[in-house]
Structure 1
Amino acid sequence: MRSRLLRGTVGVLALVVLAVGAVALLLTRLVPDRVSETCAVVLDDGTRHVLDADQADNAALITAVTVRRGLPARAATIALATAVQESKLRNIDYGDRDSLGLFQQRPSQGWGTPEQVTDPVYATNAFLDGLVQVPGYTELPITEAAQTVQRSGYPEAYADHEPEGRAFASALTGHSPASLTCHLPEPDAAASPAEAASARLEQDFGITATAADGAVVVGAAALPGDAPQRLAWAVAHWAVATAVDTGVTTVEVAGQVWQRSDGNEAGWAPADGGGPDDGGVRIS
């Protein structure tokens, strides 16, 4: 009797294991591999900071807007740390009371309409409009600078996100070349990455660059500001961080190339040519 019960129990457990395995296999095939879609910044001291790809996409947009406005990297650091705390760098349509969007701005407090504050470009500009009014904001602790703009109930929390904010701001403003890479699945074959990248360049940076022959070339003369070598890396890193949205597979700049097919581990590598001859960026 005992032997029969034991055999029955083992049989049931075997069926359970098989069922769990079948469900796991089914979920693997039906659910996109979101966990593997990540972007990382590795600094010279070996420090590594990682965001999910959709978060990195929003970080790239926020930083591009600061670059477009000619603001220092510190402004991007403050904006990114604030958005991480407020929304985990996601453009959410809910929040405390009527708070919405990347910065959890409240329409009832004069930040704009619900449609406006959930527009990432509008929301970023609204935050920066407030930040630049803070005297000496570049010298202030993040907690103080962000709180002056946000009026949060938990102001001390902004400082918790300064390390990743500073790392991604440094990469996305071009101060840390070849430091940002993303691990992404292959894009939809039907997508047009050059056209998508061209549209995002206009939206985020205000750069007009026409897609031709499957690529977008941003020449040095089209880069904002007066530091073309650094800003070329800003655009190149931006192109990698937004590739989850645009489907971009290759970015070439300053003799370096990022290939989507190489995965997160490979990062940037020497390239033949490696970008336009004038020091710009090629995105395809």
Structure 2
Amino acid sequence: MSETASPVRRGRLLRFAAAFLVLLALVGYVVVQYVNGGGPPRCVVRTAEDGGTSYELSAEQADNAATISAVGTTRGMPQRAVTIALATALQESALRNIGHGDRDSLGLFQQRPSQGWGTPEQILDPVYAAGKFYDHLAEVPGYSRLPLTVAAQRVQRSGFPQAYAKHEPDATLLAAALTGRAAATLTCESRQGGRSGDPVRLRSELVRAFGSDVLPRGGAGRGSAGAQDMTELAVPVPSTAAADDEGASRRGWELAHWAVARADALRIAEVSYGGRVWSTAQSGQGWREEPSRAGGRAGAGASGGGTADQVTGDVRIRLAQ
């Protein structure tokens, strides 16, 4: 019996040892991927008040949310419309640009080519998909005064119309940040792994989201190098009369939050506006007061108030190199 059992035990030990080695290798791989940028970066949006609510989402979700918001405001849609659009996309796709769904549904809003929403390629373009949603929403009489579930259902014709309601608080929080009403409230982690940003793509994405007027002066903006190798882009926020300082501040923070939300995809290393700065190197600290302005008046502009020199000027976007 002992001669027979010993090989069996040895076989079991060898199998356990092999399984343990595989497990160690898997854990090691996950750790290396996380340290070297493989872990999924996260974003957080908070209320402007201390101790308020917050909502956490992935970099992919933040990227898509920023696009949905930018397309809406560029079309002149109010913040309520952006909230409705974000809540709809949260329910339909969890803010992921998915290539599948019920029957032929696709994309952020699960729009159907067979129902006239566009070709599959068009629907899977977040800018196009958001634009089509707003086109239909604008045709709903009094949508801004309707309950969110009613307004969304008039566009989507969903089999579960009440499902949109549970996303309204998170969508409201996101819309306040992404439209610029709540300053310095959206931050993201970054694990970029050393890849460089493409200045041509950055300018192209800004124009696609905000329209050609976002980059005057021939579309290049102001930067530290030529148009093709620019490492820093300064996006102008139009100077306004003192009575419209709030509008200028909102525009600046809308652009700044868009850049942070899209930092992982566009390889953005730093964003600054209103005396505040966000950077990949210190992304865990969120929006910090710019060192060169510490103790000065410019930091007050981050709260959305202050004088004209605090809330106008440039949103500066620096790419990873």
Q: Flag whether TM exceeds 0.5 (same fold).
A: yes
Q: Who is 1:269 aligned against?
A: 288
* Cα distance between partner residues in 2 of 1:92 and 1:142: 23
Structure 2 residue 258 is matched with structure 1 residue 255: no
Distance 1:42 1:6, change over 3 A: farther
The Cα of 1:138 is off from its aligned counterpart by: 1.3
Q: Compute the displacement of 1:188 (Å).
A: 3.8
- Alpha-carbon separation, structure 2, partners of 1:195 and 1:219: 17
Residues 1-284 of structure 1 aligned to structure 2 (within 5 Å): 13=16, 16-29=19-32, 35-43=39-47, 44=49, 45-192=51-198, 194-206=199-211, 207-208=214-215, 209-210=219-220, 212-213=223-224, 214-221=231-238, 227-263=247-283, 265-271=284-290, 272=292, 278-284=312-318
**Residues matched between the structures, number:** 279
**Structure 1 residues without counterparts, runs of 5 or longer:** none
- Cα deviation code 1:145-189 (max 9, x no counterpart): 100000001111111111221111110001111100001113543
Deviations 1:100-144 (A, max 9, x none): 111111111111222221221111111001111112211221110
Give distance in 2, aligned partners of 1:175 and 1:222: 17
Compute the displacement of 1:76 (Å): 0.8
For residues 101 and 13 of structure 2, what CA distance do their matches in structure 1 show? 49
**Secondary structure class of the residue paired with 1:125:** helix
Q: Give me the whole-angstrom Cα distance separating, in 2, the residues matched to 1:281 and 1:40.
A: 21
Following superposition, the deviation at residue 6 of structure 1 comes to 8.8
Contact 1:143 1:159 in 2 (8 A): yes
If you compute each CA radius of gyration, which structure gives the higher value, 1 or 2?
A: 2
What amino acid is aligned across from residue 158 of structure 2 in structure 1? S
Name the CA distance, whole Å, in 2 between partners of 1:142 and 1:86. Answer: 14
Shift of 1:230: 1.0
CA distance in 1, matches of 2:130, 2:89: 9
Residue-by-residue CA offset, 1:248-279 (whole Å, 9 max, x unaligned): 1110100000011112x300010025899843
Measured at CA, do residues 139 and 258 of structure 1 come closer, stay the same or move farther in structure 2, by a change above 3 Å? same
Unpaired stretches in structure 2, ≥5 consecutive residues: 225-230, 300-308
Mapped partners of 1:30, 1:281: distance in 2:
33
Determine the C-alpha separation between the residues in 1 that align with 2:126 and 2:238.
27
| TM-score, with length taken from structure 1 | 0.88
CA RMSD of aligned residues (A): 2.6
Q: Is the 8 A contact 2:184 2:287 kept in 1?
A: yes
Query: What displacement does 1:196 show?
Result: 3.0
Tell me how far apart the structure 2 counterparts of residues 231 and 189 of structure 1 sit (CA, whole Å). Answer: 29
Percent identity of paired positions between Structure 1 and Structure 2: 45
**In 2, are the aligned partners of 1:186 and 1:261 still within 8 Å (CA)?**
no
TM-score between both structures, scaled by the size of structure 2: 0.79
